[in-house]
Amino acid sequence: MAIFGITTRYVWFAVPIGGYLVGKYLDDQETLRMTNFRDKSMLYGGKVKPGDPPSWP
């Protein structure tokens, strides 16, 4: 069965998409790790007042 040429073989698209999601998880973990250094440098640290939201998410 094919709807607009889309057959069941297209299920294999889940594999690279799965890879994408794994990579996204890793990226997010890395971003989380980098928040350890957020707004703490001598150059940019003073710009955020205590109680303000951080400068980047």
Contact set with another protein (CB under 8 A): 9-10, 12-13, 15-20, 22-24, 26-27, 30-31, 34
Minimum CB separation from another protein for residue 7, in Å?
Answer: 10
Q: Which residues pair with 3 in a beta bridge?
A: 6
Q: Are 22 and 39 in contact, with CB atoms under 8 Å apart?
A: no
Q: Least separation, in Å, of the C-beta of 14 and another protein?
A: 10
Q: Which of 35, 29, 28, 33 is nearest to 55 (CA)?
A: 35
Q: Which is nearer to another protein, 17 or 45 (CB)?
A: 17
